[in-house]
Amino acid sequence: MHRFDTVTSLRQHLNSLRSTQKVGLVPTMGALHEGHITLIEKARQENDLVVSSVFVNPVQFNNPDDLARYPRTLEEDSRKLEAAGCDVLFAPSVEEMYPAPPALRLNFGELETVMEGAFRPGHFNGVGIVVAKLFNIVQPDRAYFGQKDLQQVAVIRRLIRDLSFPVELIRCPTVREDDGLAMSSRNRNLTTDERRQATTLFQALTLGRELLAEGYDVAQVKAAMAGFFADKPAFRLEYVEIVNADTLQTASEVLAPGQTAICLAAHLGNVRLIDNLVF
SS3 279: coil
Of 21, 71, 68, 74, the closest CA to residue 52 belongs to 74
Whole-angstrom distance, CA of residue 228 vs CA of residue 165: 42
Per DSSP, the residues of 212-230 read: HHTT--HHHHHHHHHHHTT
Of 35, 79, 47, the closest CA to residue 182 belongs to 35
Neighbouring CB atoms inside 10 A of 32's CB total: 26
DSSP label at 52?
E
Per-residue buried b or exposed e for 177-196, using 16+ beta carbons within 10 Å of the residue's own CB: beeebbbbbbbebbeeebbe
Please, which residues bridge with residue 269 across strands?
none
From residue 82, how far is each of 65, 93, 99, 162 by CA, in Å?
31, 20, 29, 34
Whole-angstrom distance, CA of residue 177 vs CA of residue 102: 37
Whole-angstrom distance, CA of residue 219 vs CA of residue 19: 53
Q: Is 20 exposed, middle or buried (0-12, 13-18, 19+ CB in 10 A)?
A: exposed
The values of phi and psi at residue 19, to 5°, are -65, -20
Q: Which residues are catalytic?
A: 36
